[in-house]
Structure formats: C-alpha cells, structure tokens
C-alpha cells in the first residue's frame, strides 16, 4: 500500500439541537471574545439566534459579522479579518453555508497578522498560526466544516483556493435541525454537490487517494443516495435530514484528503461568470464529466455507483459507469433542477470562454482520472448545453 496522509477536524459534535449548546463548547475551546461570521439572510431568518443566545448565556462576548455573500470576494474576507482584529477576537465561529465557513477559516488565519491573503493562495502556502475555529454548517453539501480549503473570488470571476491543514477547524458542530427549513432547490443542489465530492474523491488521481478517503466516500454515497430525494420531498423528514448532513460531512472528509477534479474545474467558470450556485454548477456538468472519464475510471465508478444506487448491482460492472451517469442525470431531474447549461441562461457562444477558463483550474484538473485538454472541456460543455 502506498503511503498517505489523512488530516481532519479535531472534534465533530453531531446531533439535533447541538447549536443550542454551542456556548459551553465555544467557551472551552475558543475563548471569551468570539468573532461570529454568517450571512445576512441567516441573521434575518432568526436561525442564528439560539446559537447567539447560547454563547451569551455562557458568558461569551460576541461580535457578529453578517456581510458574507455567495462566492465571497477578497474584499469581504479582508474586511471581516480587519474587524476581527479590532474586536480583539480570541476565536472565530463560521455559521452558515460554504461561503460563511470559508470566510471564517480565512478570518481565523489572517486575524493573527502573520500572513496576508495574497500570499496564502495555493496549496500549502499558508503556514499559520490561526485563531481557534469552530464551524457550523446550515446546508448539507459543501463539507467545508471538515476541509482544509477556502475558495475566494478574485477579480470579476476567477476563483482561487487556499489549501492547507492549518485552516481545518478545531470543532465541526453539525445540527440537522438547522437544515429543516432549507428550500427544496437548495436541498437538491447542495446534496448533489456532496455526492460530487464523494464521487470525485473516490476516483481522484491524486497521489494521496487513500483507503480512508475511499471508505468515507462510499459511506457518504450510501447515505446521500438513500436520503436526498426524501429530504427534497419533505424537509421535515428528520432521518433524511440527518443522513444528508452526515453524508455531506463524510464526503467533505474524503475530498479534503483525496481532492476533487474536473467536475469542479468545469463548474467554477459557470459560477464565476453566471453566478449559478456552486452545487447546481456541479450538477450541470456531472454526468457529462463522468461519461468522459469512464474511459479510465470505469472500475471506480462501478464501485461507487452501487453505493448511491444499489439497484445498479444487477448490471455487469462494465455497464455501471454509463448507468451511473444516467442515474445522476435522472436524480437531478426528479429533484426539479435545471439539467442543461441553456436552462440557466448560458449561451452556446460562451462555451469557448468557459473551456478556456476551466483550464486555469490546474489545482483541480491534475486530480482528474483522465487528462482534460481545452478541446475536451469544450466537448463536455457542448454535451451539457
């Protein structure tokens, strides 16, 4: 067996109502002055209030920053970090979707004052230290609460990543109750995003693809495949919501160590140029990337396909990769998501630009099980259009 490294969060706290007990956990692990990062929608919805009350009841002083936006730009990260410094923060909490958690990771790093944002982009460039960090996901999709990755939008549309174990949080707190009110479309998009994480981690060409990540990916797909549609149909299905949240976290742990590849590389330009939500961007290209990759990843897809869709075990292994792509396409349709690029307002004439931009995602493309040239990317986008 080849050597590998597996890094993950220091502690996972999982359970219904866990967010209402955050005060005691944070006080013990983060300190008495906590910088709390979230977005304006969550703050106005009231879903944040029980957690803030728990923090205050525990004697913690809280400074709330609620200006996070989707695909956060550098200005948001830097403004939040400056406020965290002014507050004299002992620790940071990220509460929300992937964007809030990604911003919180970088605030914890930058607020120490040893590094600037421009110098930490890339793999392994951030050295730390950072402030103590606790992350609370309110969607079941990104897995950001257990990943050493933060994505920032630079310029008009390009995305850059900060990738380092330094920004793995001290605590990931997962409360299924926080996901009960998610809209159907958000549930579907984030759930398929989590499935992409597991699928790409399992088939990753990364030298660090390892048996721990593959085991987590398979279990994530088993949970998500059995529960996603149920959660979309009935947001109050407690078992489905719990399985979705746990599955998304396991997928996050998997791809945190065995990185994602071409699905994400081709999804990023879609989100950057057209502001399509990240999970939907992944969903739009997912089956087409799988069909492209089947030439070299058929066995990996055959193995993961039966985790998500047990009925595929009846097919010969050589037919499962194609059936897997078809099943995922059908799943998106049953969840009432758009399935073509033109359905989200992308013109066919934009395909060349999307393909060119996808080639910039070298950090991701290097992990794909089949080499992707710009002409290949154009072909995948054409198939998705």
Of 280, 284, 269, 295, residue with least CA distance to 358: 269
CATH architecture of 185-384: Up-down Bundle (1.20)
Return d(Cα 99, Cα 120) in angstroms, integer.
18
Q: What is the pLDDT at residue 318?
A: 87
Q: What is the pLDDT at residue 279?
A: 95
Domain boundaries, the chain: 11-178, 185-384
Q: What is the pLDDT at residue 30?
A: 96
Q: What is the pLDDT at residue 71?
A: 86
Residues in Cβ contact with 48 at an 8 Å cutoff, skipping those fewer than 6 apart? 38, 42, 64, 95
Q: What is the pLDDT at residue 294?
A: 96
Q: What is the pLDDT at residue 266?
A: 98
Q: Where are the beta strands (DSSP E) in the chain?
A: 11-14, 33-37, 61-65, 91-96, 122-123, 133-137, 149-154, 158-163, 171-174
Query: Per this entry, what is the length of the chain?
Result: 385
- Helix, strand and coil content of the chain, in percent to the nearest 5, comes to 60, 10, 30
Q: What is the pTM of this model?
A: 0.95
Q: Regarding beta strands 11-14 and 171-174, do their DSSP bridges make them parallel or antiparallel, or are they unpaired? A: parallel
Tokens of 36: 């709390």
> Which CATH class name applies to 11-178?
alpha beta
Q: What is the pLDDT at residue 45?
A: 94
Show pLDDT as tens, one digit a residue, over the chain (385 residues). Answer: 789 999 999 999 999 999 999 999 999 999 999 999 999 999 999 999 999 999 999 999 999 999 999 889 999 999 999 999 999 999 999 999 999 999 999 999 999 999 999 999 998 999 999 999 999 999 999 999 999 999 998 877 678 889 999 999 999 999 999 999 999 999 999 999 999 999 999 999 999 999 999 999 999 999 999 999 999 999 999 999 999 999 999 999 999 999 999 999 999 999 989 999 999 999 999 999 999 999 999 999 999 999 999 999 999 988 999 999 999 999 999 999 999 999 999 999 999 999 999 999 998 999 999 999 999 999 999 999 9
Q: What is the pLDDT at residue 160?
A: 87
């Amino acid at each position: 067996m080849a050597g590998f490294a597996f890094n993950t969060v220091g502690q996972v706290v999982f359970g219904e109502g866990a967010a209402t007990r955050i005060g005691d956990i944070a006080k013990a692990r983060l300190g008495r002055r906590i910088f709390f990062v979230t977005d304006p929608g969550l703050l106005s919805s009231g879903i944040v209030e029980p957690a803030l009350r728990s923090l205050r009841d525990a004697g913690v002083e809280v400074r709330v920053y609620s200006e996070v936006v989707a695909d956060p730009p550098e200005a948001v990260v830097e403004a939040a970090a400056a406020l965290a410094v002014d507050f004299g923060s002992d620790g940071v909490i990220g509460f929300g979707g992937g964007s809030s958690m990604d911003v919180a990771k970088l605030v914890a790093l930058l607020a120490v004052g040893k590094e600037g944002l421009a110098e930490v982009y890339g793999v392994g460039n951030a050295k730390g230290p950072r402030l103590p960090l606790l992350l609370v996901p309110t969607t079941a999709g990104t897995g950001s609460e257990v990943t050493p990755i933060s994505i920032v939008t630079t310029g008009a549309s390009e995305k850059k990543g900060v990738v380092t174990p330094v920004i793995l949080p001290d605590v990931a707190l997962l409360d299924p109750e926080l996901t009960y009110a998610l809209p159907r479309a958000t549930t579907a998009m984030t759930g398929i995003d989590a499935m992409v994480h597991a699928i790409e981690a399992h088939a990753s060409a990364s030298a660090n693809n390892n048996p721990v990540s593959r085991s987590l990916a398979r279990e994530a797909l088993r949970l998500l495949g059995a529960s996603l549609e149920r959660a979309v149909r009935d947001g109050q299905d407690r078992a489905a919501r719990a399985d979705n949240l746990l599955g998304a976290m396991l997928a996050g742990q998997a791809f945190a160590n065995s990185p994602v590849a071409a699905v994400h590389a081709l999804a990023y330009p879609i989100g950057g140029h057209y502001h399509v939500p990240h999970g939907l961007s992944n969903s739009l290209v997912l089956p087409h990337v799988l069909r492209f990759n089947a030439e070299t990843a058929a066995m990996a897809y055959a193995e993961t396909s039966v985790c998500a869709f047990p009925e595929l075990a009846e097919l010969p292994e050589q037919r499962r990769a194609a059936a897997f792509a078809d099943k995922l396409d059908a799943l998106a349709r049953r969840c009432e998501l758009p399935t073509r690029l033109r359905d989200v307002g992308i013109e066919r004439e934009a395909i060349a630009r999307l393909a060119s931009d996808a080639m910039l995602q070298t950090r991701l493309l290097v992990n794909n099980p089949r080499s992707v040239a710009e002409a290949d990317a154009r072909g995948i986008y054409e198939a998705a259009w």
